[in-house]
Structure 1
Amino acid sequence: MQFNLNDKVCMVGGTVFGILPNIPPDDLIVTIIMAFVGALVSFIASMLFKYLAKLFKNKK
């Protein structure tokens, strides 16, 4: 059975909106904050490693 884009969007939307009312708002807020902090730390770490790699490459 082939699904077109509309069918996939409907299934994902139905699943998300079916699960969403069962998640406590406090947990949702904590999850959003933790995702933001994780992305920020990941970005800073990648910039730091990029800087260190450039620093060590120039020393040789």
Structure 2
Amino acid sequence: MNNVDLRMGTLTGTILSISMTINLQNLLETAVLAAIGASISFFVSLVWKKLYRKNDRNP
């Protein structure tokens, strides 16, 4: 057995053991929360950018 076989076996075993503990509901919930968090972060950065530009124009 060479090093590549050992790594592939370890990686496959890890992926299979994780996939058995994660169900579809948890995966969907995580995806939805990530999308909400990314959207909020994007809009907050737009607001900060707008406020910075507004304050930058007025000395």
TM-score (norm 2): 0.70
Alignment map for 1:1-60 (pairs within 5 Å): 10=8, 15-60=14-59
Aligned-pair identity in percent equals 27
The alpha-carbon distance between structure 1 residues 14 and 54, as it changes in their structure 2 partners (threshold 3 A), is farther
User: C-alpha separation between the residues in 1 aligned to 2:56 and 2:41?
Assistant: 22
Deviation of 1:16 after TM superposition, in Å, equals: 3.6
Structure 1 residue runs without a partner (length 5+): 1-6
- C-alpha RMSD of matched pairs (Å): 1.9
* Count, aligned residues: 52
Q: Deviation digits for residues 4-49 of structure 1, max 9, x if unmatched?
A: xxx6xx5666534431221121111000000000001001100110
TM-score (norm 1): 0.69
Structure 2 residue runs without a partner (length 5+): 1-6
Name segments (4+ residues, structure 1) moved above 2 Å: 10-18
